[in-house]
Structures are given as C-alpha cells and as structure tokens.
Structure 1
Amino acid sequence: MSEAILTLQNAQIFQRENLVLKDVNLKIDKGEFVYLIGKTGSGKSSLMKTLYGDLPLEKGSGSIVGYDLKKLKEKEIPFLRRKLGIVFQDFKLLNDRNIFENLSFVLKATGWKDKSKMKEKIIEVLSKVGMETKDFKMPFQLSGGEQQRVAIARALLNDPDLILADEPTGNLDPVTSVGVMNVLKEIHQSGKTILMATHDYALILKFPNKTIKCEGEELFEVVQQKN
C-alpha cells in the first residue's frame, strides 16, 4: 500500500481574491517525483505557497506531511516547514555570511544546539550536492548553479519528508540546469519525495517523471508520449 505524503481534495487555490485553481484533487505518494507545469500565472506558485503555508487553504481539504492544511495555525507553520525542504528559484541565501554559516543559521533556527553534530550535518548535505569544498565561500563568490546546489543542501538539513522545488532551474542556463536536475534525481533515488514546479520542458523530456499541469483553472495529469 503506497503512503500518501500530500493530498488535496476539491481544493480551491486563491491568489489574493482571485481563484486560480478550482476543484484540485492531487495525491502524491511517498517516494514519488512529480513535476508541476503550466504557464506563468496558471497557479503553480500559488499552489506551492498553499502547500508550505504561505497562502491559506480556504476551500476544500488537504494534508501534507501529516499536517491538515485547512486547520493549519500560524504557530504550526515553522514546524510544517521543518518537515518540508523548500527550494526557491532565487536561492534565498544570506549574502552577509559564508555557505557554512548560511546552513548553520538554519540549523540553529530549527533548534539544533550541538556544534559538532551541526558541522557533521552541514558537511553531509553539502557533499550530497557536490559542494563540500566550498563551505567557506560567500554566496556571491559562487555561480548560480552552485548557489542552487547550496539551496538544495539547505533544504535537506532537517531530513524533510517532502521537497518542494519552485522553479529551481528558472534562473540557470541549460547546462547548469541539467547539473541541478542530476542532484535532485540522486536525492530522489535516495528515497526522498519531490514536487517540482517548472516551465522547462526540455528538462521534463530529459528526466521523465509523473507530470501534472495547471491550465484553465484546472489541475490534471499529463500522459507523456513514449517514443
């Protein structure tokens, strides 16, 4: 029996007052890799924001990593986000501190105390993304692809049940994008569940996975053509 890590039933997704997606039914099982595609403005980002508690789920029902999205309280959001790894398009690294300090900042903020355990964890996640030799560098000394690898490492720090990647290759050139996708693929193969919003169809063809599409206020699965 597959275990659902994310479910939405008859969910309405709003961006401010505007309904962007209606009657959303979605189920993602533990261990799946799912793409979320659709044009700009089709509701991808609003859906992602609803999943990590940035936008409330006003209508319908949903649960993610054991949290009821409909009943989610403000004070529970930090705990929800600890069980999620969130990767953004624009990296969101802190520019006033080096990579090691960026990651230790997150660990401290989520309650880690033991310095040696923190160091061990940081080295572990950086080596997963091939950045273990660059922990002393400042974000601006890294290329876009390297910064995104660090952002993925940061998302792995608290061993999340689900990774939400919102256009993680949106600011990267095609070659760098493939490198970042290979990192995500390895993370998926290690047993992580990933939901990735993207508009990069070349990547979807190169790394085929289950694909759902936002279009005309609806969400539906796309059946990929086999060659």
Structure 2
Amino acid sequence: MTTSTSLDWIFFDCFNTLIDDFDTSGYEIGLAPMYQVLVAAGLYKHIEDVRADYHRWRLENIAGKPEEQTLQQRFRNLLATYRPNVPPATVDQVVAEMEVEFMQCFPNTLRLPPGVESMLQRWHGHVSMGVISNFFLADWPAKMLERYGLRHYFQFVIDSADCGHRKPGDKIYQLALAAADNPNPSRIMFIGDHLTNDAIAPQRLGMQSIYFDRSADRPSSSAALATIKSINHWDQFQP
C-alpha cells in the first residue's frame, strides 16, 4: 500500500504494532510468573484461574473505558472483586510482588515484528512520527522502544498509565494532537493493531487510519473490515 507523503504525521500504537508481546496462539505465557504469585500466596489454585478472572475483570472494567488503571490498581481491584476477604497486608504484598515479576518477565516476551525497522527507516524524514499506547506501567512503551533501538524515530511517546487516559477515549488522542502542535487531523495517519482504538476512533476524530491486521498471527485479533484500510505486514506500508 502506497501512502501519500503529503501527510504531516503518523501516529503509531506500540505493542503488537511496533513491538510484539504475544505468541502465535495469543496466549500470554510469559506472564505466568506474575500470575503464579497469587497461586503461591494461596489465593488461587491454578494460574489459569487467575488469568481467567483477570481477563473477565478487564473486559468489564478496562476494555473501552477512557480512564487507565495501573498494574497495581488493576490487581488490587481484581482481588477486591473476586477475593474480597483477603487481608489488606496480603493484598499489598502480593500486588507489589506481581509488579516486580511483571517487570522481570515482560521484556523477555518482546520481539520486533518483521519489517518494522525498515518501515520506520523508509518513513523517517518524510513525516513526523509519534506513539500513543495503552499500557499499565508509566513510561514503559518509551523504555521498550529505546531497548529495541526505535525510540529515536519518534517525536513523542504518550502512554495511558502516565497520562491517565486510554484509547478509545478522546482525551489521549487530544494529548497527542497537542504534542504534535495541533496539526490538521486530516493530515495524520493513525496505524495500529486494535480495530477500534487505532482505526475507527481516529477516523471519528478526523484522522486517516490503517488497521494493522494481526488476525493471521493472533486469533484473538479482529479481522479487517471492508470499510477500513488495512495491511498485514510492514512491507505494505510505503511512502
């Protein structure tokens, strides 16, 4: 797909767009040590039970909501919902341990999707670029982009834990527009792997968008809609 260089900006999602953090089944196996903390504390019998409760709680309390909750807030609220009788001191201890485990295990799950570096090199100098990421630890999208040598391509990186706002709520996109010095939204291309957050919502705000369709790699991803431009490999995103 050839895209007009009359664009002023490209806004990218981060995880599973610029950096992958899932295996081909979509199972977050690398996060098992974090879930194991609750099993070791005797609050759950099996890791799968923790994962099932967290995914159910996340769908009810995070997905589609405009405000972010950090990792610690999420698991405190998870335990308040499904294990309300756990003593506060135990909650403090296990949630702190879970955050430490996540910080240790999550980077080991990461890798670059094919073609992302050459894609950024192609666009570098043609347009300005920024990153807008939903993530529950502040500054981690920027840190992981730095780890993989990609951070220098971007004029800014905005993450939801730092600013308190999530896609697809309007506020985080407005913060990105302000960071880009308020360009005409029609001259911005938004691209990412979440159909609502990175394609439909940006269009609602007047931006162009391309859906990075990962459904062939990750069955839990949405398939592209006929009404939304899409790619499934970075080699298809050409200036």
Q: TM-score, normalized by length of structure 1? A: 0.31
* Structure with the largest fraction of strand: 1
Which of the pair has more CA radius of gyration?
Answer: 2
TM-score relative to the length of structure 2: 0.30
